[in-house]
Structure 1
């Protein structure tokens, strides 16, 4: 059957080809090396491989030494010896021979080792062939692979770098930097963004190469960036002549820059153009297919990064505008005080948070200072912050004492049902007396800097953060009272100034205290210095706010000047704080000679309220002006039962309080206040402050 098929096809007479013919046609020769005699038979094709004439070979391998360089001969001998020693049946190797014209040529040999019955090698039969073309093809493949890996590396490196770019300027600086241009292989670049049908040039290319009139260009104009945006197709300019002919409006302005080629790429994100990128080259002509593919891939990556940057900047502008709208537009002028505020954004993320500050001018020469931080770093936190700032200001302006202001703000935040909480410190400062009443809701303690620069932390008993205290029904906010002498400065701040990832809060407070101690005397310069240092060490910490309030020299007490504090039952610290507040007010308002009398009367009134009622009491100290200047003490409680004056007897204790108040003060009385009452007394004080 096979013979009939073969004859029917009329095959040639020499089919199939003899093995010698196949070897000769493929420039392959054979050898047979007898290891016992040392003779090696090398056929004519084999001699051609070694570029030898028959009369130049005497049958001994040593005759090949004229064509095999010494280092190659050593390597081949070593390889054959190892194969024989290890019992290998086959071996193969590439080696070079030196041709008659002195050039080196790659050759390949492959052989089979024959052994006798004892395993001793007796014969090696093999082939030799010209491997020049094979290795040339292999080298070309290696070069192609290397180039492909390089191109992939360029795309990966650029994409990885662009992943860290947040703004359009970040993208431009990354691409224009020496490393970025080196990756791209370009001399310089230009970039434009599409805005309302026009291309806005955002990167100008080489230094001093701005072309007048090209800051904004229309998409239908004869410019390369307009063309690629219009057609959504890359434009590769391969020569100066191509540039001059295609873009006569642009070329006269850049022909002196030595630009020999350019690639303009449309920047496409989400299937729509957002701009164009131009890469300018010197000493380059033409673009290979690989060049074009690489640049198109880079253009896609750059477009995605720019899209993210555009969206980020839009969101950032919106968020920043929202937050700035929520913060005070100006700090009011407060007689008797110097005030400095600073705001610092985080370096990463949206650069926005729920931090806020406020200065509230209150009647009677008082001022409220607020600083706080709503949980979170987003526009929601900023919106909650704005609402919380407004209600705190409203409650304070209504005249509520600090503890009540904080408690009501907590209830308000809880009722908003935002799922957010806030930390806050509210300090009410009477600038005529220097008395500072402070309440703290989960916030960091404030600092006080003395006139000589020494700085100390002020421990303030605190309640739960706003929102949480209302949720858990723990609205008690103890009031801490300290005196702020003329020249002393109160510092309120958010935790961004003192917290470091992985560091203890106390270490941050010590660092800040030392920084304040060594800082400038001027309040504004001190604020700037603190922010500079904190910026350097904070990195990506959250938003930091700083509020500094320095009391100037003593000012004249005004009519209506008032201090107020809540004293809870079973709260000895609050009772001591209230006594301290009363004494400080009396001294500051110029009644030094009556300070003991006023303090004693106030103590009796407060103690009486705590002993005979179920709740706490509000203590108010204020100045009344008229024909006579009077200091009035009021103690308000929630009981409607009015106190009555009675004889205590010789050995009695109860009943002496009102008698004592009657003897010490000019007048006293009791007023009903809704479901409770207010016991008050008044003392005459001098018209002018003592100096």
Structure 2
């Protein structure tokens, strides 16, 4: 037995009859007088496969990529592993090799060539590398537009055994691989054009691209605009110039061909217009690369060397490949900026165009569209003038991030505004808004907080529908999150027959600020919302005092820097400080008569505020006395209780506690017996406080007591 050229085994010629061998030779010579020898015909695909070759057909318009059996064998792929698209080949083609291929194809198309060929490496199923060669014919329409590429792919490891392509040092290959990986990874996180330029122009950006400095520009309506440049290439006179061939980047954009210069003299010989600008720049070489994406020139990139350097063929191919990556990123970023502008404009058209002035108060509002292009959100805010000098403030969020959410938001905002303007209390406004949303025949629900505010007295009536609770920051930057009872989100509440929303009464002291926001400000994917709430609390405490500056600070610090994928609405309402000096830090809370958990919630909020005031051991005494006074007010009167806590200036510092009710019965001290179960309340107040007393307050009275706050150690 012997093995044929294709590896198949057959019988040795020595085992056949000599006459048969003579007939075989005559048959091969084609003599008609001898009998014809019939051998199976080998089709072209089989011939290619026998030679480790295959064919491909690439539709440049649709992206469909056909690969025959021989081509699949070259890529070490099985038929079920290939879905007819180029991305399916990425499991065999390393990333840096893929960019080299892309750059070769783009360059061939840009230069108008009819064919394109390139060597590249693949990684086989078992991990071994394999050199491969591709050669394709570019088919163009009558107008010259490329629409198809067809050709041959084959194994090339054997023919390159002694080639210079295999002689590239491993460290150089590692450098190129690292360069490609860094560029693609960094640019994959860039959303806007500004993000892309930040990546390229950061401290080590040019060095990572293999240059000492870079300059980047975009083409727009026949004008070349430089959008980024590192020192010493910043030339203000050349930032906005007509597109012509007198400057290297403009020429690269016009011709679609890269240009490489190896000295300052060559640069000035080709572009004498640059002579006044490069006197102080030690240019030793440069590469000017067109940025082409989807067969459209969007700009050009310049990479400048200030130290002597020889650009090898591999360096040039790599630079062209990186230019393709940057072009794709810029095109994606430009589209993102356009879509973001569209989303912001659409959302802004549905929000209030003007915020009414508030007597005795000030308002600041902010809205940020989602950082996901046209995914318009349903967040909104509103400020509504109400009868009797009151003001309604609203914050809300419709479920979803699309145009439907924005449309529902616009209808709901108008309906809620109409209900509020009629003077209805918050619980009625939210109840009607929930029924309105349920009747819109939409599956979306909405969270919302509505507050009816009387700025002159500081009284706030709050109703909440599944939304975040409000925050209050007093004049001393002490922040607390009051407990506000709420109901189900709008729409869902009606569906479940629970569209009743309880009201909570809060107080906004002079100089204090009320904050309402949607979850886009405090919630980040993968993080606990409590971390966002704590960050918001710290940002308010450390932020600027002026209201608009504080709104900008919160938006930039908590939303823009992390790059939230959700939209965000923010509303700040401040009650102006009274003339005559800074306001006294004070907390006021209302306890309803029929609220069984009200006293416990008040105690918790008192404790949080006393901790901020650093009341120390006195905090426990204040909490105990407050519990006694609140219990007496709820038990012995027919109204709720109004609890006030103030921090009085010293020295020494004092905490003043007041509990007000609407009963005219004056408190009196009793002497209970040993077995008595009541009557010790005032004795407890007298024992724990430094001073106490009672005052008449209109239709009722107030019991007050003061506690001395010990000075901190070392004060």
TM-score, scaled relative to structure 1: 0.54
Residues 57-85 of structure 1, C-alpha deviation per residue, up to 9 Å, x if partnerless? xxxxxxxxxxxxxxxxxxxxxxxxxxxxx
Secondary structure (helix, strand or coil) at the match of 1:338 reads: strand
1:203 to 221, 228, 236: 228
Residue pair 2:375, 2:403 contacting (<8 A) in 1 also: no
Residues 494-544 of structure 1, C-alpha deviation per residue, up to 9 Å, x if partnerless? 334554666665676577567767878765676566667656997747444
Matches within 5 A, 1:236-315: 236-284=260-308, 287-315=311-339
Counterpart Cα distance in 1 of 2:549 and 2:277: 49
1:177 to 186, 199, 202: 202
- CA drift of 1:391 comes to 2.4
Q: Does 1:368 align with 2:367?
A: no
- More divergent stretch after superposition (458-467 vs 408-417): 408-417
Say if 1:237 and 1:349 are closer, same or farther in 2 by CA, change over 3 A: same
Secondary structure (helix, strand or coil) at the match of 2:184 reads: helix
- CA drift of 1:374 comes to 2.2
Q: Does 1:331 align with 2:364?
A: no
Aligned to 1:441: 465
2:414 to 371, 385, 390: 390
- CA drift of 1:269 comes to 0.5
- CA drift of 1:275 comes to 0.8
Residue pair 2:524, 2:564 contacting (<8 A) in 1 also: no
Counterpart Cα distance in 2 of 1:183 and 1:498: 36
Secondary structure (helix, strand or coil) at the match of 2:419 reads: helix
Counterpart Cα distance in 1 of 2:358 and 2:532: 31
Aligned to 1:320: 344
- CA drift of 1:256 comes to 3.8
Matches within 5 A, 1:514-533: none
Aligned to 2:141: none
Aligned to 1:494: 518
Residue pair 2:520, 2:564 contacting (<8 A) in 1 also: no
Say if 1:269 and 1:475 are closer, same or farther in 2 by CA, change over 3 A: same
Say if 1:482 and 1:191 are closer, same or farther in 2 by CA, change over 3 A: closer
Residues 153-191 of structure 1, C-alpha deviation per residue, up to 9 Å, x if partnerless? 322221122111222222223223343222222121121
Residues 368-416 of structure 1, C-alpha deviation per residue, up to 9 Å, x if partnerless? 0111122234555444433332222222223344333223323343444
- CA drift of 1:142 comes to 5.1
1:193 to 187, 206, 218: 218
Secondary structure (helix, strand or coil) at the match of 2:358 reads: coil
Secondary structure (helix, strand or coil) at the match of 1:250 reads: helix
Secondary structure (helix, strand or coil) at the match of 2:204 reads: helix
Aligned to 2:493: 469
Instruction: Give RMSD over aligned pairs.
Output: 4.4
- CA drift of 1:445 comes to 2.1
Counterpart Cα distance in 1 of 2:302 and 2:343: 33
Residue pair 2:340, 2:371 contacting (<8 A) in 1 also: no
Counterpart Cα distance in 2 of 1:151 and 1:270: 25
2:437 to 394, 413, 418: 413
Counterpart Cα distance in 2 of 1:492 and 1:360: 15
Counterpart Cα distance in 2 of 1:314 and 1:482: 43
- CA drift of 1:321 comes to 2.2
Residues 603-642 of structure 1, C-alpha deviation per residue, up to 9 Å, x if partnerless? xxxxxxxxxxxxxxxxxxxxxxxxxxxxxxxxxxxxxxxx
Residues 458-502 of structure 1, C-alpha deviation per residue, up to 9 Å, x if partnerless? 333322212322444433223334455656554333334554666
Secondary structure (helix, strand or coil) at the match of 2:388 reads: coil
Residue pair 2:397, 2:446 contacting (<8 A) in 1 also: yes
- CA drift of 1:596 comes to 8.0
Matches within 5 A, 1:646-685: none
Counterpart Cα distance in 1 of 2:349 and 2:452: 24
- CA drift of 1:437 comes to 2.6
Residue pair 2:343, 2:369 contacting (<8 A) in 1 also: no
Q: How many residues in Structure 1 have an aligned counterpart in Structure 2? A: 439
Counterpart Cα distance in 2 of 1:552 and 1:251: 61
Say if 1:227 and 1:501 are closer, same or farther in 2 by CA, change over 3 A: closer
Secondary structure (helix, strand or coil) at the match of 1:424 reads: strand
* Larger Rg over CA atoms: 1
TM-score, scaled relative to structure 2: 0.53
Counterpart Cα distance in 2 of 1:261 and 1:518: 50
Matches within 5 A, 1:587-598: none
Residue pair 1:497, 1:538 contacting (<8 A) in 2 also: no
Residue pair 1:239, 1:285 contacting (<8 A) in 2 also: no
Unaligned runs of 5+ in 1: 3-135, 555-569, 585-594, 598-684, 687-691
Residue pair 1:403, 1:478 contacting (<8 A) in 2 also: yes
Aligned to 2:150: none
Residue pair 1:345, 1:543 contacting (<8 A) in 2 also: yes
Counterpart Cα distance in 1 of 2:420 and 2:266: 74
Aligned to 1:425: 449
Say if 1:441 and 1:454 are closer, same or farther in 2 by CA, change over 3 A: same
Q: Does 1:158 align with 2:183?
A: yes
Counterpart Cα distance in 2 of 1:200 and 1:527: 34
Aligned to 1:233: 257
Secondary structure (helix, strand or coil) at the match of 2:228 reads: strand
Counterpart Cα distance in 2 of 1:553 and 1:178: 47
Say if 1:431 and 1:573 are closer, same or farther in 2 by CA, change over 3 A: farther
Residue pair 1:351, 1:543 contacting (<8 A) in 2 also: no
Say if 1:415 and 1:225 are closer, same or farther in 2 by CA, change over 3 A: farther
Counterpart Cα distance in 2 of 1:340 and 1:185: 48
Say if 1:534 and 1:267 are closer, same or farther in 2 by CA, change over 3 A: closer
Counterpart Cα distance in 2 of 1:319 and 1:238: 47
Counterpart Cα distance in 2 of 1:230 and 1:514: 53
Matches within 5 A, 1:42-121: none
Unaligned runs of 5+ in 2: 1-12, 15-160, 579-593, 599-633, 644-661, 665-697, 700-715
- CA drift of 1:361 comes to 0.8
Aligned to 1:549: 573
- CA drift of 1:259 comes to 1.1
- CA drift of 1:199 comes to 1.6
Residue pair 1:435, 1:581 contacting (<8 A) in 2 also: no
